[in-house]
Amino acid sequence: MEVLKIATAGSVDDGKSTLIGRILYDTKSLTSDKLEAIEKTSKQKGYDYLDFSLATDGLVAEREQGITIDVAHIYFSTQTKSYIIADTPGHVEYTRNMVTGASTSQAAIILIDARKGVIEQTNRHFFINNLLRVKEVIVAINKMDLVDFSEDIYNKIKADFEILMQKRDYQDQNITFIPVSALKGDNVVHKSKNTPWYKGQTLLEHFELLDTEDVYNVGTPRFPVQYVIRPKTEEFHDFRGYAGKVYGGELSVGDEVVALPSQTKSKIKEIYLYDQSYQTASRRSSVTITLEDDINVSRGDMLVKVDDLPTIDKQFTATISWMDSQNLVTGNKYVLQHGVNKVLAKVDVIHHKIHPDYSGIEEHISALGMNDIASVTFKLNKSIFFDPFKNHRTNGSFILIDSQSNNTVGAGFIQ
Amino acid sequence: MTKDTSKVNPLENEAIYIIREVAAQFEKPVLLFSGGKDSITLVRLAQKAFYPAKIPFPLMHIDTGHNFPETIAFRDRLVKELGLELIVRNVQDSIDEGKVKEESGRYSSRNSLQTTTLLDAIEEFKFDACIGGARRDEEKARAKERIFSVRDDFGQWDEKNQRPELFDMLNGQIHLGQNVRVFPISNWTELDVWSYIEREHIEIPSIYFAHTRETFLRDGLIWSSDDEVVYRDENEVVEERLVRFRTVGDMSCTAAVLSDAADIASVVQEIRESTISERGARIDDKRSEAAMEKRKQQGYF
Ligand SMILES: Nc1nc2c(ncn2[C@@H]2O[C@H](COP(=O)(O)OP(=O)(O)O)[C@@H](O)[C@H]2O)c(=O)[nH]1
Ligand SMILES: [Mg+2]
């Protein structure tokens, strides 16, 4: 079955959790015991409606404060697809969670409160989904019930958003507008009688018709070696397989490949998945590859096609999203994890901070704080093999790890 | 030779990738094996990840002593057939050593006592990564869990301060004494697991299929009557029923469901149509809304 991962974005109280709860309810994905729990708690809180956000806010602190603090993953499926929706927190200080949610999603729902329209936060949500090159964006104009399902208000918000869209640099993004009421269920799963002027699809219809292959950004095939398989049994005495996941494009038996960094050439001999052998390894499949020649390849190395080399360099500039409470300062050193490869990286130059609301850049910066986004040049102790993020979502991204705390402190997108 | 791999389950690709990362990033990983369907699925995924080599880490079972005998028999057979290494640590030993105290009375269970035995075993073997079969759809505190979830020296989960996980990249760097709980099937639903078991013809213990069993009713749930292990009032009458188990934990905390699903196809069909969640049949979660979150903070699976 196809799997579609969707991230939600919106300010606090725009209705993200309610929308997800509504989708679960209308697709009959809430089991009776979960529904009972929601009914019970809604009643205890004195509500005269069902508070669907209770279906997703899983931590005690979240239920007490009535807000989403950490990303939750919600699952449901229809006849055609399995869906994974990330319910992300909406506070300004939680930008890092949004970047995280968007990084693993192929689609995003940006919620706008119809009473408030496009606000500064909306700019941020759009900016991040654009920065991370999320292919499908739904702009759900929510709480339409509170504005009498007014077509004028919907059109005004849409027009405001379209102005914002002119500022994006990822033009291939598909953007769709839908007027909804998460609380009442209009245009979420079922078509609304209250919006006769809206001729488009409901939120779920839209996702149902998406081809999941299309929402993955295509690039050239990259095969980072995760693990070398050497059984050393009698039956497989000389077997030497390279285990990993194929990104960007496909690889086939007979393809001429180069192993990086050694630049040794060989040909793909076999492609295995468990005990089956295949002619072609498709995008995103976890396989084991053997080569015609006995060359030296280890974890962190990469197999690529001979005529399709990535950039091999010890220095690059990237847009980074800083996620730690300790500042990033010029000269600082971090462990840089690029896929399954790890090197040491030094912050060479912080060029400028980028305001994630499209309000411009800020130069002469010496430090980055939590939730800052900036353009930074790094110097590495060893070369890595990368593509620009705009050409390759996987091979153009990395994370930064603080070697003292071991925490993941930042994410980067190579320019 | 089959043409291409595009029809392979995307969830399977993800799980295999995660399991390989564990083998590559850690010194002493272990697969926590309960004998339930999720951990049996993990074993198959691990086999796939390293074929034609053997799984490069052992399995470990924290045995409460209250398991269904069918599960234990199944466990031993699986390990033997696949030539795997199995470590067993017993909750009974932790009780005998006075480290934990057995609960008594109507809702008594050894389920939460497992945590101490588990943490001791992690320390004993210096395991730095424990692979588990938890899924985010099981329970809402689990929905918040990372794929690589760091536990401190006391095995505790700091749910409000978790590492961000971006793209496919898994950060397994830890300090000495810490360990990582790894959940390769985080993104699978109960139905995904059952469909996979069906498609892959994976063997599972017989108690997952309909059988007649001596049972009694309590709080609307059906309990296996085994007076050694499961507390029962005099007025709780034992009756024979046609049942199966949807989830397999301890006898004292896992309720059966009425079912005539005798083979895997009918089980998959039953799950598809089911209106109650898997954990609805587990009394350990019903204790309070925050039950799972609390147990996880203390180091539970
Ligand atoms: N009237 C109305 N209220 C809504 C709608 N969607 C959400 N709400 C309410 O807005 C509040 C915040 O919703 P919640 O889902 O927690 O927002 P989140 O912070 O984005 O997750 C709750 O009181 C909801 O009941 C809607 O479509 N119409
Ligand atoms: Mg929320």
Average pLDDT over residues A326-344: 97
For chain A positions 151-180, those within 8 Å of chain B (CB to CB) are none
Is the residue at B177 inside a domain?
Answer: yes
Q: Which of B4, B10, B166 sits opposite A100 (nearest CB)?
A: B166
- Whether residues B210 and B125 share a domain: the answer is no
Which residues of chain B neighbour A97 with C-beta distances below 8 Å?
164
- Given a cut of 70, whether residue B276 has pLDDT beyond it is no
What residue of A is the nearest CA neighbor of B282?
A33
Distance in Å, CA A91 to ligand 2 centroid: 10
In chain A, the percentage of residues whose pLDDT exceeds 70 is 95
Average pLDDT over residues A245-263: 96
Residue B16 belongs to what H/E stretch? helix B10-25
Q: Which of A73, A227, A277 sits opposite B136 (nearest CB)?
A: A73
Q: Are the CB atoms for B114 and B141 separated by under 8 Å? A: no
* B90 to chain A, closest Cα gap in Å: 31
Q: Are the CB atoms for B245 and B273 separated by under 8 Å? A: no
Ligand 1 lined by A12 (C-beta under 6 Å): yes
Q: Among A7-11, B53-57, B110-114, name the one with the lowest average pLDDT.
A: B110-114
A91 — contact with chain B (CB < 8 Å)?
no
- Given a cut of 90, whether residue A138 has pLDDT beyond it is yes
Chain B contact probe: residue of A20, A227, A269 with most B CBs at under 10 A: A227
Number of domain units in chain A = 3
Which residues of chain A neighbour B293 with C-beta distances below 8 Å?
58-60
- Whether residues B210 and B187 share a domain: the answer is no
Chain A contact probe: residue of B4, B5, B192, B272 with most A CBs at under 10 A: B5
Highest average pLDDT, of A213-222, B134-143, B172-181, comes from B172-181
Q: What is the pLDDT of residue B113?
A: 81
Distance (Å, whole) CA A144 – CA A185: 10
Average pLDDT over residues A281-287: 94
Q: What is the pLDDT of residue A31?
A: 77
Q: What is the pLDDT of residue B278?
A: 60
Which residues of chain A neighbour B8 with C-beta distances below 8 Å?
273, 282, 285
Query: At residue B146, what is the residue type?
Result: R
Q: Among A134-148, B40-54, B232-246, name the one with the lowest average pLDDT.
A: B232-246
Average pLDDT over residues A192-213: 94
Distance in Å, CA B81 to ligand 2 centroid: 48
Whether residues B16 and A69 touch (CB distance < 8 A) is answered with no
- Whether residues B90 and B150 share a domain: the answer is yes
- Whether residues A15 and A121 share a domain: the answer is yes
- Whether residues B185 and B244 share a domain: the answer is no
Strand B179-182 and strand B239-244: pairing?
unpaired
What residue of A is the nearest CA neighbor of B54?
A231
Q: What is the pLDDT of residue B285?
A: 47
- Whether residues A182 and A273 share a domain: the answer is no
Is the residue at B263 inside a domain?
Answer: yes
Q: Among A50-64, A367-381, A390-404, B36-50, name the one with the lowest average pLDDT.
A: A50-64
- Whether residues B135 and B31 share a domain: the answer is yes
Distance in Å, CA A93 to ligand 2 centroid: 15
- Whether residues A208 and A272 share a domain: the answer is no
In chain B, the percentage of residues whose pLDDT exceeds 90 is 54
A334 — contact with chain B (CB < 8 Å)?
no
Distance (Å, whole) CA B36 – CA B45: 15
- Domain end point (choices A281, A305, A329): A305
Distance (Å, whole) CA B26 – CA A224: 18
- Whether residues B22 and B123 share a domain: the answer is yes
- Domain end point (choices A305, A331, A349): A305
Give the other-Cβ count within 10 Å of A217's Cβ. Answer: 20
Which tokens belong to A122?
A: 């909306």
Is the residue at B3 inside a domain?
Answer: no
- Whether residues B34 and B181 share a domain: the answer is yes
Structure confidence by residue, pLDDT tens digits, B189-217: 888 999 999 999 999 999 999 999 999 88
More confident position, B248 or B215: B215
- Given a cut of 90, whether residue A411 has pLDDT beyond it is yes
Whether residues B168 and A55 touch (CB distance < 8 A) is answered with no
**How does the average pLDDT of chain A come out, rounded?**
91
- Whether residues A295 and A186 share a domain: the answer is no
Distance in Å, CA A106 to ligand 1 centroid: 24
Average pLDDT over residues A204-225: 87
Q: Among A33-37, A261-265, A287-291, B248-252, name the one with the lowest average pLDDT.
A: B248-252
Which residues of chain B neighbour A215 with C-beta distances below 8 Å?
none
Which residues of chain A neighbour B47 with C-beta distances below 8 Å?
274
Whether residues B173 and A335 touch (CB distance < 8 A) is answered with yes
- Whether residues A9 and A97 share a domain: the answer is yes
Number of domain units in chain B = 2
Domain residue limits at A253: 217-305
Ligand 1 lined by A136 (C-beta under 6 Å): no
- Whether residues B112 and B158 share a domain: the answer is yes
Ligand nearest to the CA of A57: 2
Q: Which of B1, B17, B173 sits opposite A279 (nearest CB)?
A: B1
Q: What is the pLDDT of residue B153?
A: 75
Confidence of residue B287 (pLDDT cuts 50, 70, 90): very low
- Whether residues A193 and A224 share a domain: the answer is no
Which residues of chain A neighbour B169 with C-beta distances below 8 Å?
337, 339-340, 397-399
Ligand 1 lined by A10 (C-beta under 6 Å): yes
Is the residue at B34 inside a domain?
Answer: yes
- Whether residues A14 and A125 share a domain: the answer is yes
- Given a cut of 90, whether residue A30 has pLDDT beyond it is no
Structure confidence by residue, pLDDT tens digits, B25-53: 999 999 999 999 999 999 999 999 999 99
- Given a cut of 80, whether residue A361 has pLDDT beyond it is yes
What residue of B is the nearest CA neighbor of A337?
B169
- Whether residues A208 and A232 share a domain: the answer is no
Which residues of chain A neighbour B26 with C-beta distances below 8 Å?
none
CB-based contacts of A200-204 (< 8 A; 24+ apart in sequence) = A200/A176, A201/A176, A202/A178, A203/A19, A203/A23, A203/A109, A203/A138, A203/A140, A203/A178, A204/A23, A204/A26, A204/A27, A204/A78
Ligand 1 lined by A15 (C-beta under 6 Å): yes
- Whether residues A392 and A379 share a domain: the answer is yes
Whether residues A275 and B52 touch (CB distance < 8 A) is answered with yes
Domain residue limits at B55: 10-192+290-297
* B272 to chain A, closest Cα gap in Å: 10
* B153 to chain A, closest Cα gap in Å: 14
- Domain end point (choices A190, A212, A234): A212
Across the A:B interface, residue pairs with CB atoms under 8 Å apart total 192
Q: Give me the torsion for CA of B125, B129, B130, B136, rounded to 10°.
A: 160
- Whether residues B106 and B219 share a domain: the answer is no
- Choose among A181, A13, A171, A1: nearest CA to A77: A1
Q: Which of B3, B12, B192 sits opposite A279 (nearest CB)?
A: B3
Distance in Å, CA A12 to ligand 1 centroid: 9
- Whether residues B134 and B271 share a domain: the answer is no
- Whether residues B181 and B240 share a domain: the answer is no
Ligand 1 lined by A181 (C-beta under 6 Å): yes
Q: What is the pLDDT of residue B110?
A: 76
Question: The domain spanning residue A287 has which CATH number?
Answer: 2.40.30.10
- Whether residues B123 and B232 share a domain: the answer is no
Distance (Å, whole) CA A53 – CA B42: 32
